[in-house]
Each structure stands twice: as structure tokens, then as C-alpha cells.
Structure 1
Amino acid sequence: MGRKAGALYISPKKFGSLQKPCMKEMISFLNCLALGQNNDEKCVRQKELLSACMDAQSGKNRSTWGSINYHLQRLNRGRK
């Protein structure tokens, strides 16, 4: 198990941190909960903003191309 020596590989963890779409809304909601002793009735506005952001993200179509590492392996096979 594992990768072959000399194979092309990109760590997806490095690229996963580039886009965090609802981070501001989530942080503001969690801060409000912390200040309000976990009472979400005081944080209705932040909760609505977070829900709206998450709903907007789920509507986006995801690419069905597969991972970048799969395509790197395909290109590497073609070179040999």
C-alpha cells in the first residue's frame, strides 16, 4: 500500500484551506453563543446569516472530474 516512488502527487490538505466560504458567519455565530452562555435565542441574526450562507454553498455544482492526483497519475502513465 502507498504511493510508488517517483510518482507525481499533490497534498490536497494544502489546497483545502484556500477557500472557506462561511467562516466569518460561523465565527460570529460561535462568538455570539459564547457571549450569550449558549443561548441561541439571542443569536437569531447570526444564525440566519450562517444558514443563508450554507444554503448558498450547497446549491453550487461540484465538479465531477475527480481529484487532481487522479489526473496527475493519468498524465504520468501517458508519458511512459
Structure 2
Amino acid sequence: MGRKAKSLFINAKKFGQNRPPCTVEMVSFLSCIASNSNDDDKCVKEKNLLMACVDAQCGKKKKPWGTVNYHLQRLSKGRRFD
């Protein structure tokens, strides 16, 4: 299940700092829980911020035009790269 020889591929993880959404809110909520001995009643503010971030992410749609690798594969079908 490897890639074909001489195929174009871009590793998107190397470009930019693409962190998963709501990472900051999740880390602050987990650190609050850890510092309060797993008592989430004391971390209501952090919990509300995390839930607001997660709810905001549910409404976002993916980009309709596909990924960079999809377009590279389409372009490479008609051309030979030596």
C-alpha cells in the first residue's frame, strides 16, 4: 500500500501551524480539572469556553474545492514528470 514512484505529494502537516481547533480551550480545561482533583464543578468557566468552541466548529463546512494533493493528482495525469 505504498505510493507510486514519482507521484506528487505534499505533506500538509509540515506547512504552517495547523493545530486542531479548540486546542487551547481543551488544555486549559484539562489543566483546571487536574489542579482541582477531577472536580469539574470548579472549572465551569473553562468548560463553557470549550463547549462554545466545539459548538462553533460544528457549523463549519469543509472547503468545496478539495485538497492540494487531489489537484496535484489531477494535474499529473496529463503530464509526465521526469
Establish whether TM, by shorter chain, passes 0.5.
Answer: yes
Instruction: State the TM-score bracket (shorter-chain normalisation).
Output: 0.7 to 0.9
Partner of 1:69: 69
1:23 offset after TM fit, Å? Answer: 1.4
TM-score (normalizing by structure 2): 0.81
Secondary structure of the corresponding residue to residue 41 of structure 1: helix
Q: Please, which runs of 5 or more residues in structure 2 have no aligned partner? A: none
Q: Deviations over 1:37-76 (max 9, x none)?
A: 1111111110000000111111112123333222211111
Q: Please, which runs of 5 or more residues in structure 1 have no aligned partner? A: none
The whole-number CA distance in structure 1 between the counterparts of 2:13 and 2:44 is: 33
> What does residue range 1-80 of structure 1 map to in structure 2 within 5 Å?
1-15=1-15, 17-80=17-80
Secondary structure of the corresponding residue to residue 66 of structure 2: coil
TM-score (normalizing by structure 1): 0.82
Q: Deviations over 1:3-58 (max 9, x none)?
A: 11111011244358514331111111001000011111111110000000111111
Q: Count how many residue pairs are aligned between Structure 1 and Structure 2.
A: 80
- Say if 1:67 and 1:55 are closer, same or farther in 2 by CA, change over 3 A: same
The whole-number CA distance in structure 1 between the counterparts of 2:68 and 2:32 is: 38
Secondary structure of the corresponding residue to residue 43 of structure 1: helix
